[in-house]
Amino acid sequence: MFNQIRLRAWSEGLRSQPSLPLRVQLWNGQRLDFSPDPPRVTVHVPHARALRYLLSPSLYNLGRAYVEGAIDVSGRASDMVAVVNALANNMRAPLPTFGLGRLLGALARSHTRKRDAAAIRYHYDVSNAFYAAWLDPGMVYSCAYFDNGAETLAEAQVKKIDHILTKIGVRPGHRLLDIGCGWGALAIRAAQRYGARCVGITLSDNQARLAREQVERAGLGGLVEIRLQDYRDVGGQFDRITSVGMFEHVGVRQLPAYFRRMATLLAPDGVAMNHGLTTTDVDSHGAPHGGGEFISRYVFPYGELAHLGTVIKAMQEGGLEVRDVENLRRHYARTCAMWSDNFEAHAERIKQLTDARRFRIWQVYLAGCTHAFTHDWISLYQVVCGKAGRDPAAIPWSRRYMYAQA
């Protein structure tokens, strides 16, 4: 009875707001529509106990309920995320998090080699076939780069790699370290087109295995080495260093040490780039409405996003001078939208490659990332840097060289 009263109050409150393309189908056959137009999202509530998720509609609560099968939701993933965000916005008071965010944050700050390796395996060792079903043919799992937005995903990913390698001035014979090399696309491109000698490191067995196969297939065994290795264990010196979509796993408190390690590995006149996600919250909190908690629990265990200001400060503390910063938020919104569309288009195949729970996690995660980038909750920055305190003659006069036609 109490839940029915709460449901009636919730429903009346929602109807006082702008129409929402939502239908709620209850276990007793009752149907609630919140728009005169046909619904784009239908939430199926199988029993009265499941009402608690609907009546406390944060991205975390409803996301968890959907992933764990406590409720069922039909509709396009992008519409699902937009509707849930609208429901969360409609709440008149902040929702309690029961300390989960603080607990996950404390765990995230405790980064060890063992814990970081386990987190990477959880996220990346689903299966190579799973990722291949929705990524581009080059298996590039990071923000693409668009000149005008009309490029295919494959074209934009090649442009991104070339944009990075041009920015840091890769030349034939340069020794390049790619921290978090994924399936090897950047290292292969750097060797194949730019003549660099590359070392790519990853903590994912699946990534390392396929990357090595890709290297051999390209005939680049003499130029590219793929290692299963933690960045803290790399030795030697490199003319160029890239870190693309990796430092989110490092931990905010560990960033100065991470960049200090990068500075140690960088040759005196070397150039490095960090390409990674940042939060737009100045206090480095997660996405609103429990979105960050959902990602911490289901997608990126122990992952943390720092604000750009924190990143730049940590680079300076680590002995690096920031030379160039570029915001690619629009590019990542486009990239995630294309990934999400690919995921939806190949849903039946993907369901055969993984279990229903993981399918739902990734379905809402990719659409949620699109929403987050579009609404400026998170961003993506490429930061070019070199060792601090060096002669400025090594720094180009302008940024024109970054956009020169190859």
Residue 152 φ then ψ, to 5°: -70, 165
Residue 351 φ then ψ, to 5°: -60, -25
Query: What is the residue whose two structure tokens read 């840091």?
Result: 168
168-171 long-range contacts, CB within 8 A, separation 24+ = 168/240, 168/242, 168/271, 168/272, 168/273, 168/384, 169/240, 169/271, 169/401, 170/194, 170/196, 170/240, 171/195, 171/196
Q: How many residues does the chain have?
A: 406
Of the candidates 298, 324, 323, 305, the one whose C-alpha atom is nearest the C-alpha of residue 379 is 305
Distance CA 321, CA 315 (A): 7
Q: Could you say which of 143, 181, 369, 385 is catalytic?
A: 369
Q: Are 310 and 284 in contact (CB under 8 A)?
A: yes
DSSP letter assigned to residue 320: E
Q: What DSSP assignment string belongs to 186-253?
A: HHHHHHHHH--EEEEEES-HHHHHHHHHHHHHTT-TTTEEEEE--GGG--S-EEEEEEES-GGGT-GG
Q: What DSSP assignment string belongs to 67-82?
A: HTTSSEEES-HHHHHH
Catalytic residue list contains 385? no
- β-strand partners of 44: 25, 72
DSSP letter assigned to residue 342: H
- β-strand partners of 384: 273, 324
Of the candidates 72, 67, 71, 57, the one whose C-alpha atom is nearest the C-alpha of residue 7 is 57
Query: What is the residue whose two structure tokens read 């730019």?
Result: 194
What H or E segment, with its residue span, contains residue 273?
Answer: strand 266-279
Residues designated as active site? 369
